[in-house]
Amino acid sequence: MESKFFTSEALIRYVESVSAPEHPLLAALRTETDAHPDHQMQITALQGQFLQLLVLATGARKTLEIGVFTGYSSLAAALALPDDGRITALDISEEYTSVARRYWKKAGVEGKIDLRIGPALESLDRLTKEGAGFDFAFIDADKTSYPEYFEKTLALMRRGGLIAVDNTLRDGKVIDAANREKDTVAIREFNASRRHDERVISSLLPIADGLTLAVKR
């Protein structure tokens, strides 16, 4: 299994061996996605487990996900949510999310997930009109839109709600000043804006590919 942690592979194997076992359907989804040409987009098993912990620890019921792909993070969150919990899941791809839908059904959690296909910025604008009040959100889609995703998501969170943002270290590229890739520039902008952002308390955790947690004050 590919590891994105900034530590040794052997240590990751150890961490996995002492962490809760991966749910069989999450393991099956990981195996199926491993054969997909874009499989590197999938979060790691340990990240999935950490998302579940965050959902449980915050007592979240109403959650938002931006970037579904084949469904690993949404399935992990759905399995951790209470029976009346709900995920509003945004993605632009029918093709990727057809795999997700299959696994949500197998796990009996499809009723918890409201999948909205289309550009996430437009879906977020529609959610703003509907009025939301999310307890938990996970941002993991196209990186150039991260600054806008964060602003729109923050406005949709209840006070005390938790936002988790993936890939905020970009494989370490954020500290390479010569790297001017659009994705890296956007992540740098997003990270720098958090430092004095008094609307949240945030922390960039150096796990996986960098995971920023931000709690709305």
215 within 8 A of 198, measured Cβ to Cβ = no
Total binding residues toward ligand SAM, as defined by CB under 6 A: 19
Q: Counting Cβ atoms within 10 Å, is residue 74 exposed (0-12), middle (13-18) or buried (19+)?
A: buried
The stretch among 12-20, 66-74, 185-193, 199-207 that binds ligand SAM (CB under 6 A) is 66-74
Which residues in 193-212 contact ligand SAM (CB under 6 A)? none
| Contact between 42 and ligand SAM per CB under 6 A | yes
Binding flag, residue 69, ligand SAM (CB under 6 A)? yes
If binding is defined by CB under 6 A, does position 92 make contact with ligand SAM?
yes
Nearest distance from residue 183's CB to ligand SAM, in Å?
11
String of DSSP letters for 34-84: HTSTTGGGSPPHHHHHHHHHHHHHHT--EEEEE--TTSHHHHHHHHHS-TT
Angstrom distance (rounded) from CA 119 to CA 121: 6
**165 near ligand SAM, judged by CB under 6 A:** no
Question: Applying CB under 6 A, which residues contact ligand SAM?
Answer: 41-43, 67-70, 72-73, 90-93, 96, 119-120, 140-142
